[in-house]
Amino acid sequence: MMIIDNFKFRNHRYVELAGRIYRKNSDQKAGVIFSHGLFSSKDGYKITQMAGSILDSGFALMTFDFTFSGESPGKIADISITDEVDDLKCAINFFKSRGFEKIHLMGSSMGAAVTVLTAATGQFEIESLILIAAPLSFEKLVPEIKRDHLNDLDLKGYTSVSGVMVNNGFIREIFEIDMIEAVKKITSPVLLIHGRQDAVVDYSNHETFIGNCTSECVSLVIDDGDHNLTRDSDIKIISENVKGWLGKFNV
């Protein structure tokens, strides 16, 4: 039996974020927190399809909407990677307040980057990371913007990125955040998942991650997989491997 609990929790900016916990019973002490991608939400197809297998592994699952998405307030134009990291930190604290002691972090695309940055702070004891299509070079996500044009951007203005208006502070973050240094600070074991045909976050990001990660890093490559990895075959492969991965910690 799957129990689903919808709720709201506050981040450090006193914004109420929408969250959800899937569990099988009220006694569970171990769980996974999932961070969604840039244009997704806690209701994204991939994670909702995988929820059952995560629960079958003996773990609860928490998903939530970042400040700008889903049922949480805010506009995509005001997105901030720093704020997303804050959101995830608050999600971890909330999950812990619900009695979950052993926590795994899972993220997809931008959510994977936020997961890495959060884990790299060393603020929390994280059992493991499960990362899907993790970007290490944000600059390639905004090909319209060149580094030497950053100083021309009005800090209070907005710029169109792939047809979506975003604040220029976010553009600056993209060029200033050092993801590789964050990867080097990770101490938790990592399950790293990527589609070799990913046209959004190039497969080279996967290889760069492995080359800079000093903790245990298990690679799962889906040779014909794209960025979304939402085909039934993709979901099956990822679910089976995530279940096996989590099973190692369920002792």
pLDDT tens digits, one per residue of 222-240: 999 999 999 999 999 999 9
> What does pTM read for this prediction?
0.95
The pLDDT value recorded for residue 30 is 96
Task: Report residues of the chain scoring pLDDT below 50.
Answer: none
Task: Write out pLDDT tens, residues 107-122.
Answer: 999 999 999 999 999 9
Query: Which SS3 state, helix, strand or coil, does residue 18 take?
Result: strand
**Are the beta carbons of 130 and 50 closer than 8 angstroms?**
no
Q: What is the pLDDT of residue 150?
A: 81
pLDDT at 156: 87
Give me the sheet containing 16-23, strands edge to edge.
3-10, 16-23, 60-64, 30-35, 102-108, 128-132, 190-195, 217-222
For residue 20, list its beta bridge partners.
Answer: 6, 63
Q: What is the pLDDT of residue 251?
A: 62
Sign of the torsion formed by the C-alpha atoms of 21, 206, 120 and 75: negative
Q: Which domains does the chain have, with CATH numbers?
A: 3-138+180-247 (3.40.50.1820)
On whether the CB atoms of residues 119 and 92 are closer than 8 A, the answer is no
What percentage of the chain exceeds 90 in pLDDT? 82
